[in-house]
């Protein structure tokens, strides 16, 4: 054990420093995302989802950094990685809409001007009704919209970014423009 520590003390030290940096970045990003969620008055469940995405990205960055520190020879492992990435690439291409919805969900978290409880009208030729919808919930893949008659429309996040959406009224104001008490 002492031989191992003596032989690899620089790699061990660099790994510990990398892990500390990743943990600090995770803490800072969690705080920033939660602060952004509070400022934007976003539901806690959506904030936790975005926090999970950021944590996964930082974990991936940490794994790549540690593999470089320990000198993983990517030429020897290249065949395995290329095969795995080819399979993943085919699977991701087949499910591109899922990825685009997740990406749109992350973008909507930071720049979506509407909140749960707002009434919106989506200008989409595929939606027969021009009646406004109540935003019931915003998930990673879709937004749940409900008509006044109770009909539920589950609308993909990526389409919410592509189509024109009109805010009829939000939680703070009523349809006639007066402030709610």
CB neighbour class for 168 (10 Å; exposed up to 12, middle 13-18, buried from 19):
middle
129 and 161 assigned to the same domain: yes
Q: How confident is the model at residue 75 (pLDDT cuts 50, 70, 90)?
A: low
For residue 21, pLDDT over 90 is answered with yes
Q: Would you state the pLDDT for residue 8?
A: 83
Element containing residue 104 per DSSP (H, E): helix 96-111
**At 146, phi and psi to the nearest 5?**
-125, 135
CB neighbour class for 26 (10 Å; exposed up to 12, middle 13-18, buried from 19):
middle
Q: Please state, in angstroms and rounded to a whole number, the distance separating the CA atoms of residues 77 and 75.
A: 5
67 and 124 assigned to the same domain: no
For residue 176, pLDDT over 90 is answered with no
Mean pLDDT highest for which of 1-15, 19-33, 130-144? 19-33
82 and 161 assigned to the same domain: no
Region of residue 120 (phi > 0: left; psi between -120 and 50: alpha; otherwise: beta): beta
Average pLDDT over residues 15-42: 92
For residue 12, pLDDT over 50 is answered with yes
94 and 132 assigned to the same domain: no
Q: Is the model's pTM score more than 0.85?
A: no
Q: What is the pLDDT of residues 99-114, one digit of tens each?
A: 788 888 888 777 777 7
Of 41, 67, 77, the C-alpha closest to 170 is 41
Half-sphere exposure of 37 (CA within 13 A, CB side): 17
Residue 103 is part of which domain span? 2-107
Number of domains in the chain: 2
Q: Would you state the pLDDT for residue 171?
A: 56
77 and 135 assigned to the same domain: no
Residue 177 lies in a domain: no
83 and 154 assigned to the same domain: no
């Amino acid at each position: 054990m002492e031989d191992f520590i003596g032989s690899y003390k620089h790699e061990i030290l660099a790994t510990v420093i990398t892990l500390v940096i990743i943990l600090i970045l995770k803490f800072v990003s969690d705080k920033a995302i939660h602060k952004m969620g509070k400022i934007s008055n976003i539901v806690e469940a959506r904030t936790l989802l975005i926090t999970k995405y950021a944590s996964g990205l930082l974990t991936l960055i940490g794994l790549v950094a540690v593999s470089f520190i320990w000198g993983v020879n990517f030429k020897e492992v290249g065949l395995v990685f290329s095969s795995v990435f080819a399979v993943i690439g085919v699977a991701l291409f087949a499910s591109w809409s899922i990825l685009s919805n997740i990406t749109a969900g992350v973008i909507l978290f930071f720049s979506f001007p509407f909140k749960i409880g707002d009434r919106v009208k989506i200008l989409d030729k595929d939606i027969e009704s021009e009646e406004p919808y109540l935003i019931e919930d915003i998930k990673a893949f879709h937004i749940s919209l409900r008509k006044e008659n109770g009909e539920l429309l589950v609308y993909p996040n990526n389409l919410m970014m592509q189509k024109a959406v009109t805010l009829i009224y939000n939680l703070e104001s009523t349809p006639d423009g007066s402030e709610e008490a």
